[in-house]
Amino acid sequence: MAALLGAVALAWALLGGRAPSAGPDAGAIGGVDACRKGPRFQHALALGPRAALGTSLTDVTGLALLDPDGGGERGTVYQHETWDDAGFLGPFITDRHGNVFVAPVPLVSLVENPPEKQNRIYRVDTDSQVMRLFADLPPAAPPSGGSPFGVVGLAYDCDTDSLYASSLAGSTAARQAGRLFRVPLSDARAATHVDGVDAVGVAVFRGRGGKRLYYGLARAPEVHSMALTDDGAFSGAARTELSFSDRVAGGRRTVRKIRFTAGPEVVLHVIDFNYSLQVASVRLEDVLTYRYDPVTDDWDFVASETTP
């Protein structure tokens, strides 16, 4: 994915998919998305082994495949004819079959991304490459020009074949109206939600007490979580997992992406976010790593770095 990144809007920096990664077996402590695969169509295309999907390729609207070993200054860019149908796209994730799920996010202008079409998830078929609308999620209040964001984070759970989505639809800098969604891939119409949560980055982790949906608050330098039942439903009250206020300085620091790795550890990608489309020629991102202690069911700080 690093090859896909360029100078982008601050809102665009919220996003980015999570590549399939090694993880624990079912029931073990750690992340729960190790079954995810890349799309099968990628193998059928005449692209090099380093080709990668992305949504933040400069001057390209929507999803694209970049082969850095292809011709030209930046390599070969491939895009199916449907991949720009929803305007600019942001968070994306694959499932166990390699289907790609992706959400639209406005860049600088709302022309390609009208607010009323931002609380959606699209599905790119792992074989045909065709992108179609998968779920139109109900917002607590409609997005607006003042705060045009809808779905801003996606996660996948292999155990229950579920998507989890964070949405800021209806929220503004002064009003919190966001929702957390669970979307069964077997039937998107059966989606359920939790009200009143403004979150961006989301991921599922199995700890000592079972599985929980982790999410980074949009309004505070904190990561919270909510318990999940065996079938993937939300359960009980949220709790605070960790605060990183002592690790970052200035601005409204928000976790745009959560990654669980071996150890088990969690890697937080932290940016400034203020609910507006604000252009930034250089994105500064704090990357914080914490390690899970199964004895205390808590997270211990490991390291931090700042990346452009």
**Which pLDDT does position 251 carry in this prediction?**
64
**Which pLDDT does position 18 carry in this prediction?**
43
User: Residue range 172-185: average pLDDT?
Assistant: 95
CB-based contacts of 18, cutoff 8 Å, min separation 6: 33, 93, 155, 203, 257, 259
**Nearest 5 degrees, angle CA 126-CA 128-CA 132?**
85
User: Residue range 174-184: average pLDDT?
Assistant: 95
**CA-CA-CA-CA torsion for 189, 180, 64, 11, nearest 10 degrees?**
140
Say which amino acid occupies 245: S
| pLDDT tens figures, 289-305 | 999 999 999 999 999 99
pLDDT of residue 256 exceeding 50, the answer is: yes
| pLDDT tens figures, 97-109 | 999 999 999 877 7
**Which pLDDT does position 9 carry in this prediction?**
34
| pLDDT tens figures, 152-175 | 999 999 999 999 999 999 998 889
Q: Confidence band (pLDDT; 50, 70, 90) for 35? A: very high
- The mean-pLDDT minimum among 119-123, 126-130, 252-256, 280-284 falls in 280-284
Q: Kindly report the backbone phi and psi dihedral angles of residue 44, in degrees, each rounded to the nearest multiple of 5, phi listed first.
A: -85, -15
pLDDT of residue 13 exceeding 50, the answer is: no
Number of domains in the chain: 1
**Which pLDDT does position 161 carry in this prediction?**
97
pLDDT of residue 23 exceeding 60, the answer is: no
Check which CATH number belongs to the domain holding 40 and give it.
2.120.10
User: Residue range 130-152: average pLDDT?
Assistant: 89
Distance CA 196, CA 177 (A): 5
**Which pLDDT does position 11 carry in this prediction?**
38
CA neighbor of 107 nearest in space, from 235, 227, 253, 277: 277
Top-confidence residue, 149 or 59: 149
Q: Confidence band (pLDDT; 50, 70, 90) for 275? A: confident
**Which pLDDT does position 253 carry in this prediction?**
85
Mean pLDDT for the chain overall: 87
Q: How far is CA 161 from CA 155, 184, 258, in A?
A: 11, 6, 19
Helix/strand number for the chain, H first, E second = 1, 20
What is the extent of the structural domain holding 8? 2-307
